[in-house]
Structure 1
Amino acid sequence: MKRFDFRDEIHRLDPEKDCVRIMQILQSHEFPWDMGRALGIALYRTYAVPSIGELLGKTDEFTGNTQKRYDDTALILGNMVQHGFEPGKGRDALRRMNQMHRSYDISNDDYRYVLSTFVVMPVRWLNDYGYGWRRLSDHEISGITHYYRTLGKYMGIKDIPETYEAFEELLNSYEDEHFAYTEGGRRVSDSTLDLMVTFYPKRVSGLARKFSMAILDDSLIEAFRYEKPSKGWRKGADLALKLRAKVVRRMKPREEPLWADNNPNIRSYPDGYQPSRIGTFPASCPVAHDVDPVAHQDLYGPDGDSGPAPEPAEAGPAADGRA
């Protein structure tokens, strides 16, 4: 296999109809490490939005059970990419995510913002920051956009942006308007950074934390009231990531896919797991945990899980914008 064979395969696919396959190639073959870092930063950004950071802080799930929340998030999102939205593990993961979200009063605007971070941050990491071993093409960016538009529709999100540019405009304007310090958001941020350093040997944990801080943009540093990283650390982290990209470019293509299940940083399920049974089950949850909390027929069709996945409805199943 040649270095650009996967890129060429993507360009033979339709960015809308084949968006799941495009995401599978990008996330498990072309950029597994980069996509993981970019999506991690995407989720991290949401803590700086008060309505999100405070909610996560109050649940104690992202502060008291940080490792498991990291694992659950990675596995749920990873299973949807790996298996798509057809009946099976991918749809089980989608249902599990919708069940958890349904337990809380989350606004449609916050859902739209979180979705925008998933679309925009991988493109920024690989293209704008220059940390990818190659740039994403417009065709690939369109595939990413259509994948998350599809996911958003299955979540019942309304008024989903139609283009990458619209997602980026949403992200920028939402952060400009909403980023602010909250105690809950800061606690979640601290706990997340504490977890990140455990992914490295203890002897370099202090350096790992400084490196993690150095790749956060000023808007996040200010929102969490952290001390601003030095110019030396900023420059060093940037150069290190760009050097890594040059090295990866000269490596052989990854022929065997790397999925979330193979991530050594996921530690909560040494004996395996079922997507339908991971995540949180709040005591106040108003629905039975093995029953889909959204309109089952509207989301999955009259045959339920036994039939093919329908085209997702634009307005989504949740009339009030919650999933």
Structure 2
Amino acid sequence: MSRAPAAASPYARLVLDTMPQACRIGLALGFVRTFGVPEVATVLHGTGRLSAVPGERAKATGVAMFALIGHGPGSAAGRRVVEELRRLHDRPDITPELMHYVLACFTLCPLRLIDGYGPRPVSGAERAAAFAFHRELADALGLPPVPQPDLPALGSWMRDFEERRFAPSAAAHALWRSTGPVLAARLPAAPTPLAGVLAAALLDDPLRAALGVRHPPAPVRALAAGALRRGLRTT
């Protein structure tokens, strides 16, 4: 994993040094969240890679995001990742709006996980730096300017987008069957019988509906949340 230099942004220090495990889980959740949009799920499922080698695909996504956050989209390493991302997503069925949504998932989901389960909430400086990174990456990818003025506005746009676009799909259900165990494996100190339930418990109701995941009973959700919280606060 790349280490954040001393002069790195508060967001890079949070992701790479302060809470890397929580951020890895949050990025994985962000990736899973994109499956709720049928167009995205169809594209990802159509490549076949997530079904064949889900761990490898998830790891590659995490490595790319950590490299971008650690070095910046404008660095030599960052430009290489950006060019690869542009090549992979240069297709007519991936619109700028969909790309903006995917970037929003990768930006917001780690912060939400930390706020809910980490040893402390994300600071104001870290939130501002995360939003600055989001805008810089969108610009590097050649997307239209981010219309939202700050992180809360981005979160509101993301919720509105999901209300309009989330829907169940066979592709999303298949992707979850492949990647759910990968997400479960990243959770800290989860007992093996509980790992899958814990992963499902981290999904909210709209995403569960889109992925075709059963709603865990309240006691199971509470047990799973407690296990994750204890794990992240002791690492």
TM-score normalized with structure 1 length: 0.65
Structure 2 residue 68 is matched with structure 1 residue 80:
yes
Higher RCO (C-alpha under 8 Å, 6+ residues apart): 1
The alpha-carbon deviation at position 198 of structure 1 amounts to 5.2
Instruction: Indicate how the Cα distance of structure 1 residues 193 and 104 shifts in structure 2: closer, same or farther if over 3 A, else same.
Output: farther
The alpha-carbon deviation at position 40 of structure 1 amounts to 0.9
Is the Cα contact below 8 Å between 2:138 and 2:145 reproduced in 1?
A: no
Instruction: Indicate how the Cα distance of structure 1 residues 181 and 123 shifts in structure 2: closer, same or farther if over 3 A, else same.
Output: same
Partner of 1:165: 152
Alignment root-mean-square deviation, CA = 2.4
2:18 aligned to 18, 30, 36, which one? 30
The alpha-carbon deviation at position 197 of structure 1 amounts to 4.4
Is the Cα contact below 8 Å between 1:119 and 1:164 reproduced in 2?
A: no
The alpha-carbon deviation at position 204 of structure 1 amounts to 4.7
Partner of 2:173: 186
2:229 aligned to 242, 254, 275, which one? 242
2:46 aligned to 54, 58, 74, which one? 58
Partner of 2:133: 147
State the alpha-carbon separation in 2 of the partners of residues 50 and 187 from structure 1. 12
Partner of 1:230: 217
State the alpha-carbon separation in 2 of the partners of residues 224 and 157 from structure 1. 28
- The one-letter code sitting in structure 2 at the alignment partner of 1:243 is R
TM-score normalized with structure 2 length: 0.88
State the alpha-carbon separation in 1 of the partners of residues 38 and 29 from structure 2. 17
Structure 2 residue 200 is matched with structure 1 residue 213:
yes
The alpha-carbon deviation at position 118 of structure 1 amounts to 2.0
Is the Cα contact below 8 Å between 1:116 and 1:170 reproduced in 2?
A: no
The alpha-carbon deviation at position 90 of structure 1 amounts to 2.2
Partner of 2:34: 46
State the alpha-carbon separation in 2 of the partners of residues 235 and 199 from structure 1. 19
Q: State the structure with more CA Rg.
A: 1
Cα shift readout 1:55-79 (whole Å, capped 9, x = no counterpart): 1111112112212211221121121
The alpha-carbon deviation at position 83 of structure 1 amounts to 2.1
Stretches of structure 2 lacking an aligned partner (at least 5 in a row) = none
Instruction: Indicate how the Cα distance of structure 1 residues 104 and 79 shifts in structure 2: closer, same or farther if over 3 A, else same.
Output: farther
Is the Cα contact below 8 Å between 1:46 and 1:53 reproduced in 2?
A: yes
1:100 aligned to 88, 96, 101, which one? 88
State the alpha-carbon separation in 1 of the partners of residues 142 and 74 from structure 2. 17
Cα shift readout 1:167-190 (whole Å, capped 9, x = no counterpart): 101110011111111111111111
Stretches of structure 1 lacking an aligned partner (at least 5 in a row) = 1-5, 11-17, 249-323
State the alpha-carbon separation in 2 of the partners of residues 69 and 246 from structure 1. 28
State the alpha-carbon separation in 2 of the partners of residues 219 and 165 from structure 1. 20
State the alpha-carbon separation in 2 of the partners of residues 41 and 152 from structure 1. 20
How many aligned residue pairs are there? Answer: 229
State the alpha-carbon separation in 1 of the partners of residues 47 and 233 from structure 2. 42
Q: Percent identity?
A: 22
The alpha-carbon deviation at position 105 of structure 1 amounts to 2.9
Cα shift readout 1:215-274 (whole Å, capped 9, x = no counterpart): 2111111112222111111101222233335435xxxxxxxxxxxxxxxxxxxxxxxxxx
